[in-house]
Chain A
């Protein structure tokens, strides 16, 4: 079994029997984006190219909806079965992806158990969520990217008891919120991603004096991309962390 998609990697690493998974993508070993980075030790790391995957002679390849169609077609032409693990866009879709991975790996029981734990934890968090609107927060990602209504991030913010200002500003899904507009929205809390090594202009805007003025002590939360890049059960960990940060703001 080989996985060629970061999200499929993480689901497979959570569910596979020892020795069942041979190779995952090299990004799955990067703790910035993958919650299962440690579990990749000793596994082959691929770059999602048909030739190297074929050389590993797998019985089954796990791909994602964003895996290039020509790579998937090439693998199938080479006689390798490919299962596409669906994209997770809502908190309620996490169990489906777990079960789809479980079915592909022949690990249905493990997937069911993990899905059940997730649903219980999700319900508990939802039950604890208040009715009154919480602090007004905005997600400030590199390049002034933010997430509004309908996005996974928006659902996590709501679950953490925060009201998402990007949604209020009319951004649906992902979108760019100019720094000026973010300042004018006067958020109670700014949530940004942990910086990557090296330098980029995209991340420089997170340290812009105007952004720093908004994100004073106690009004700023850092979140690891790994917790919500993919809709793994770890999204609940991000929600719990944000809830603690939200309580500090009040």
Chain B
């Protein structure tokens, strides 16, 4: 950890700067000084309403969800020892979206406060457990990706089916939101809805560091070091399901963050999972904040989906990774 202090400080500064940008950029065009004053004042003026109820929750959610995806990506890659593992690509986010959509359309989300995030959690947990069972502890690339494709396709199809069956005429048009994600017009309600589960998930995933470090030496070596692989696996499934479920429930499925961020940061932390976890959390927050600022600058009034931006960055990298994996004969 000592060696990475500079990296962590730089990432923290980046997140801070992008958080400020996220608060200051928006269609209402409020001058920066005025905007910050209104944010702190919090009175009944229109500026304060925009800052506190529209821009603040959006920036907070970008940090929370970005950090969650970065953390989950780093943890899954560490556990499976496979750089292609990522919640969005292998259908965990898509399954969480399915859970969320079912909760919304059946009225479960309206009947009790945490109904929406818990249903999304159930979807995510089912997908992670299924994938880990299929890919096995060593996480062979081919099995993981093929199982991921199947889970993604099934979750996407069922999500579209549920939305098409909805009596609400707007629901069917929202397949795009659930598959690509967006933070437009989210509110503090969504922040409070997602936060409790995310905190639990962060705690579980952050606790994986030592176990994942040991696992880099191989399973047998890890067990002799006193690491229980069953416990490690359970914590990974529960933690990933908590953070991905909570995030997807309020912002839709956002892909590629968990792939790109650990990949970029790994060389800086010497490939040690315990150091990569916190760095990826900060990196994920920075990436999602940047993507969310970008959608506001590029097409301010069109609600361009976050997944579009993250995929434009992430998909070429994914192809590059597959190419390299193949070249290494894995």
Which residues of B (95-129) have their CB < 8 Å from a CB of A? 104-105, 107, 109-110
Tell me if A202 is interfacial: C-beta within 8 Å of chain B: yes
- A208 to chain B: closest CB distance in Å? 5
Is A180 a contact partner of B28 (Cβ separation < 8 A)?
A: yes
* Pair A203/B53 contact, Cβ less than 8 Å: no
Q: Mark B181-222, 1 if CB is under 8 A from A, else 0.
A: 000010111000000000000000000000000000000000
CA A176 to CA B105, docked complex, whole Å: 25
- What CA separation (Å) do A238 and B303 show in the bound complex? 30
Query: What are 15 A-B contacts with C-beta separation under 8 Å?
Result: A178-B28, A180-B28, A181-B28, A183-B49, A183-B50, A184-B47, A196-B169, A197-B167, A197-B168, A199-B104, A200-B174, A201-B174, A208-B54, A209-B53, A209-B188
Q: Give the residue of A180, A202, A210 whose beta carbon is less than 8 angstroms from that of B173.
A: A202
Residues facing B in A187-235 (CB within 8 A) are: 196-205, 208-210, 213-214
- Complex Cα distance, B46 from A213, in Å, reads 10
The docked-state distance in angstroms from the alpha carbon of A197 to that of B55 is: 29
When distances are taken between beta carbons in the complex, the residues of chain B under 8 Å from A205 are 185
CB of B171 within 8 Å of the partner chain: yes
Per the bound structure, the CA–CA distance linking A143 and B174 in Å amounts to 11
- Name the distance in Å between A136's Cβ and chain B's nearest Cβ: 13
For residue A144, CB closer than 8 A to chain B, the reply is yes
Q: Is the CB of A198 within 8 A of B168?
A: yes
Q: Known A-B contacts: A200-B170, A208-B185. Give 13 more (CB < 8 A).
A: A143-B170, A176-B301, A184-B47, A198-B105, A198-B167, A199-B171, A200-B171, A203-B168, A203-B170, A204-B185, A209-B188, A210-B54, A214-B49
Q: A176 to chain B: which residues have CB within 8 Å?
A: 301-303
User: Using a CB–CB distance below 8 Å, which chain B residues touch chain A?
Assistant: 26-28, 30, 44, 46-47, 49-50, 53-55, 104-105, 107, 109-110, 166-171, 173-174, 177, 185, 187-189, 300-303
On chain B, the residues within 8 Å of A174 by CB distance are none
How many A-B contacts are there with CB distance less than 8 Å?
A: 84
Shortest Cβ-Cβ A-B pairs, 3 listed:
A198-B168, A202-B170, A200-B170
Given the contacts A178-B300, A199-B110, A210-B53, A183 and B28 also touching, CB distance less than 8 Å: yes
- Given A202-B173, A205-B185, A208-B53, decide whether A180 and B168 contact each other with a Cβ distance below 8 A: no
A181 surroundings in chain B (CB, below 8 A)? 27-28
For residue A186, CB closer than 8 A to chain B, the reply is: yes
- What residues of B have a CB within 8 angstroms of the CB of A179 in the complex? 54, 185
Whether A213 contacts B173 by the Cβ 8 Å rule is: no
In the complex, the answer to whether B170 meets A142 with C-beta atoms within 8 Å is yes
Q: Which residues of A contact B54 (CB under 8 A)?
A: 179-180, 183, 208, 210
- A205–B185 CA distance with the chains assembled, in angstroms: 7
**Chain A residues whose C-beta falls within 8 Å of the C-beta of B55 in the assembled complex:** 180
> Which residues on the B side are within 8 Å of A197 (C-beta)?
167-168
CA A203 to CA B185, docked complex, whole Å: 11
Smallest beta-carbon distance A67→chain B, Å: 18
Whole-angstrom CA separation of A201 from B174 in the bound complex? 7
Closest to A199 in B: B104
- A192 → B minimal CB distance (Å): 13
Contacts of B301 in A (CB 8 A): 176, 178
| Chain B minimum-CB-distance residue to A175 | B301
Q: Across the two chains, which residue of chain A brings its CB closest to B169?
A: A196
Q: Shortest CB–CB separation between residue A165 and chain B, in angstroms?
A: 13
Q: Which of A176, A200, A213 has the most CB of B within 10 A?
A: A200
Question: How far, in angstroms, from A204 to B190 measured CA to CA in the complex?
Answer: 11
Given A178-B27, A184-B28, A196-B169, decide whether A202 and B174 contact each other with a Cβ distance below 8 A. Answer: yes
Cβ contact within 8 Å between B46 and A196: no
- Which residues of the other chain, B, contact A200 by a CB distance below 8 angstroms? 166, 168, 170-171, 174
- Least distance between A84 CB and chain B CB atoms (Å): 24
Q: Within 8 Å CB of B28, what residues of A?
A: 178, 180-181, 183-184
Interchain CA distance A95-B30 in the complex, whole Å? 46
